[in-house]
Structure 1
Amino acid sequence: MQQRNADRTRTRILEAATEEFAARGIAGARVSRIAEVAGCNKAMLYAYYGNKDALFDAVFTASVEAYLDEVGFDADDLPAYAGRVFDYFEAHPDRLRLSIWYRLERPEGEPLEAILAVNQSRLDELHRSQRRRVVPRQFTAVSLLSLIQAIATSWSSMNPEYGLDLPNVIVRRRAVVMAVQKILS
């Protein structure tokens, strides 16, 4: 029973911290707000996660794992991957904000092991696809992955005025993302 309560408390803390960090970043997040929303005290939060930075790391790692579970990666079908990335962040804009905060506030910090492992796995797949000539070699694997991710998330950083009057905005934006196929030709 006590283990289940601890697991529920950790889950509530992660959920509250995800909202707080997505909205305010690491520097702007307040442990007191996270504890209040999670229905626990700050001492409990510190007991489970150590400090605010470690809590952000746990939140971001969980976010990356959820992203990977839903989006997956297939180097042999990069346009479909780009479409899934677009779909995921359209459905979960808070997760994109977490990623942006991570890049903004940790540009020279210690990289998270989960991120290193994910990136290396995707780059290894891209290298294999390039060796098999499924994916063109005019770009390095790093450049190609960066380009596809930038295209897939580009609409999230655009001014909102770029689509207020368009019918089927999401459908049309996704179609532009799928132009990744042209880059691979």
Structure 2
Amino acid sequence: MKRDAQATRQRIFEAATAEFARYGIAGARIDRIAAASGSNKAMIYTYFGSKDALFNAVGVEWISRNMNDVPVTAHDLPEFAARLFDQYQKYPEMIRLVTWAALERGPEANRIGPVLISYQGKLQAIRQAQEQGVVSDRFSAETLLELILALIRLDPGLTADPADRDEPARRRRAIKEAVARLAQPD
């Protein structure tokens, strides 16, 4: 039976995404990833080198998807925030991966090449919009982006009724309004 290396890597990647999203870096187990992907530990280490490198590969893929699917629109930051919120709703594992990385790696989580490139591009676009007077400069571009990301990541668990189907739409509107107020020039 002929092996398909690309299909194997994809199965490992999908199993790793689910494992890391559920358990984080420290709690993830290569044995479970191997079992879920129909491969073995040796194959995972051959393709990815280490559990940390596998987590990085998963993170880079999700960040790349996010960069491609949700490019920054600095002249319309509220819509950018809303589209990013939609992305997190569509792919809940993304927010869990980001949260685990922040919890377990701290600031180092943002120092992976594609993460830096993504943030730098977004920051540059926000700075340009600030220079043009389209976006408020009361906050630095860095702080404004951090505030937008924090709003999107807020956990509605304390106030939201899980059975309320309208909750995501209300949150989306609230995020857009909050970002509009943050970004509105004086």
Structure 1: where are the runs of 5+ without partners?
Answer: none
The answer to whether the 8 A contact 1:35-1:45 is kept is: yes
**Partner of 1:135: helix, strand, or coil?**
coil
Q: Does 1:120 align with 2:120?
A: yes
Partner deviation per Cα, 1:127-162 (whole Å, 9 max, x = no partner): 1111111111111000100111111222xx232552
Size of the aligned set, in residue pairs, is: 182
Amino acid at match of 1:145: L
1-structure distance, mates of 2:86, 2:141: 23
CA deviation after TM superposition for structure 1 residue 165, in Å: 6.4
User: Structure 1 stretches (4+) deviating beyond 4 angstroms?
Assistant: 164-167
Q: Does 1:141 align with 2:136?
A: no
**Partner of 1:80: helix, strand, or coil?**
helix
The answer to whether the 8 A contact 2:160-2:167 is kept is: no
RMSD: 1.8
Overall identity of the aligned pairs, in %: 39
The answer to whether the 8 A contact 1:85-1:153 is kept is: no
State the TM-score, normalized to the length of structure 2: 0.91
Say if 1:165 and 1:26 are closer, same or farther in 2 by CA, change over 3 A. closer
1-structure distance, mates of 2:56, 2:6: 18
Q: Does 1:66 align with 2:54?
A: no
The answer to whether the 8 A contact 2:81-2:152 is kept is: yes
Q: Which residue of 2 aligns with 1:171?
A: 169
Say if 1:70 and 1:41 are closer, same or farther in 2 by CA, change over 3 A. same
